[in-house]
Amino acid sequence: MEKQDLPPTAYDPFGSEETAEVHYKTLSWWQSGMLMIAETVSLGVLSIPATLASIGLVPGIILIVGLGIISTYSGYVIGQFRQRYPSIHSMADAADVMLGPWGREIFGVAQLIFFLFATASHILTFTVMMNTLTNHGTCSLVFGVVGLILSFLCSLPRTMKNVSAFAVVSFLSIFVSVVITMVGVGVENPGNGKMEITKATSFVNAFTAVTNIVFAYCGHAAFFGFIAEMKDPREFPKSLAMLQGFEIVFYTIAAAVIYRYAGQDVASPALGSTGPILQKVAYGIAIPTIVIAGVINGHVAIKNVYVRLFRGTDLMHQRSLRATGSWIALALTFWIISWIIAEAIPVFNNLLSLISALFASWFSFGLSGIFGLYMTWGQLFTSPKRILLTIANVLLIGIGTTICVCGLWVSGVAIHNDASKSSFSCANNA
């Protein structure tokens, strides 16, 4: 028998906000979509051109478009699951619906670790950017601490609407910086256009490329949090279409153009593929997205813990010392741990590969398949439409499992074999 809907307001994670000092449910669909773009379309696009250098132009584009379409469906399933169970604010809440309290704890920890690793990649990129702009003006550890402090300060607003003000800046930042990179490599042609349509490579290199593309579509872990702060969660499909339509087109064009002109010498992050002057220009313009996209991920993670601690109490809607101080303490703790991870795994591609294998495989793909099966359990084969949906959901679980198992192996091999950079080092990582 199909699961029945829960009452739509009784289980709302933020409850009634009529008399609250702090209002959370304030996002319009386009603000939610802009947040999703700012969160997702950031560092992922910077690694994609290098994946084409690993596997070739045609396989790379097929993977970019194919995984984009699949992630659109998986995002839609997340929206449908949230509509069915309005109590959900995070992946931990979704696990609680399906598996009970122990599922909540396991997935709550997993989601927190994912966001810690994702934000660590932003701090790592911040150090690369600062080393590029200053010609390694000081110890890379110092630049990492500066990134930590900036991220912490930008995480202080408690509501998504306030953070969404940064999202437009982040979007324009990454868009302009990538366009500058495309123009730069086209003019300077540093790789002399030595690209390959297809390329024979090792399994480790090929699957690392796959996981880097997966990372570019790994915003799904934050979707429940965005939906929970929308004025009308039923409009989430509009936000999702806004995100997926933009990122599939942007990723494909950016990766193809940069690889076409930078060739096999393309850098990761891709902003390093131009000459010295344009590198500095591109990185300078990219500063907002390097910081803000990480802040949005961090904000979702901090909010998940905050809601878990104070859900059902008036404290969450207050501006009291305890309420504000708790948020600040959680934010500071989160960013310190994120900085430690960034310094411990100082190779950009390896860090992205590890994140994708461990977490994006499930949050962006596998879990959506499980959500879909759960919502239609007992009616999996009752009609041709149900059969197709069941096949699609089973395939999502298979994709997630494959990315997780194979991705963990290849990222472990890559991290073990890459001795080019050491942990907690002052060395130049640009």
pLDDT tens profile 296-321: 999 999 999 999 888 878 888 888 99
Q: Which amino acid is at 97?
A: V
Task: Give domain status of residue 15, yes or no.
Answer: no
- Residue reference for tokens 């499930």: 362
Query: Looking at per-residue confidence, does 119 or 46 come out higher?
Result: 119
Q: Is the pLDDT of residue 365 over 60?
A: yes
The verdict on residue 19 lying in a domain is no
Per-residue pLDDT tens digits for 95-146? 999 988 899 999 999 999 889 988 988 898 899 889 989 988 899 899 999 9
Note down the domain range covering 361.
29-417
pLDDT band at 43 (very low <50, low <70, confident <90, very high): low
Helix H or strand E segment including 247: helix 236-262
When pLDDT is averaged across residues 166-192 and rounded to a whole number, the result is 82
Asked whether residue 3 carries a pLDDT value surpassing 50, the answer given is no
Q: Tell me the three state secondary structure of residue 230.
A: strand
pLDDT tens for each residue of 322-354: 999 999 999 999 999 999 988 887 666 666 677
The pLDDT assigned to 6 comes to 41
Q: What is the pLDDT of residue 343?
A: 85
Residue 135, CA distances (Å) to 75, 144, 243, 276 in order: 41, 15, 35, 10
What does pLDDT average to over the chain? 86
Q: Round to whole Å and give the CA distance between 315 and 324.
A: 9
Q: What is the pLDDT of residue 410?
A: 81
189 Cα distance to chain centroid: 30
In a domain, 8, yes or no: no
Q: What pLDDT score does 146 carry?
A: 95
- At residue 202, the pLDDT reads 82
Q: Which of 283, 282, 254 is nearest to 126 (CA)?
A: 283
Model confidence at 370, in pLDDT bands (50, 70, 90)? very high
Residue 422 included in any domain: no
The model's pLDDT over 265-288, given as tens digits with 9 standing for 90+, comes to 787 777 777 778 888 888 889 889
Query: Among 193-197, 222-226, 262-266, which stretch is predicted with the lowest mean pLDDT?
Result: 193-197
Please tell me the distance from the alpha carbon of residue 297 to that of residue 294, in angstroms, as a whole number: 5
Position 47 in a domain: yes
CATH number at residue 168: 1.20.1740.10
Both ends of the chain: CA-CA distance in Å? 57
- Whether 401 is in a domain gets the answer yes
- Percentage of the chain surpassing pLDDT 90? 43
Report whether 43 contacts 117 (CB < 8 A).
Answer: no
Distance CA 235, CA 193 (A): 44
Asked if residues 267 and 273 have their Cβ atoms less than 8 Å apart, the reply is yes
Asked if 96 and 104 touch (Cβ cutoff 8 Å), the reply is yes
Is residue 425 domain-resident?
no
Q: Is residue 178 included in any domain, yes or no?
A: yes
When divided into structural domains, the chain yields a total of 1
Q: Which pTM value belongs to this model?
A: 0.87
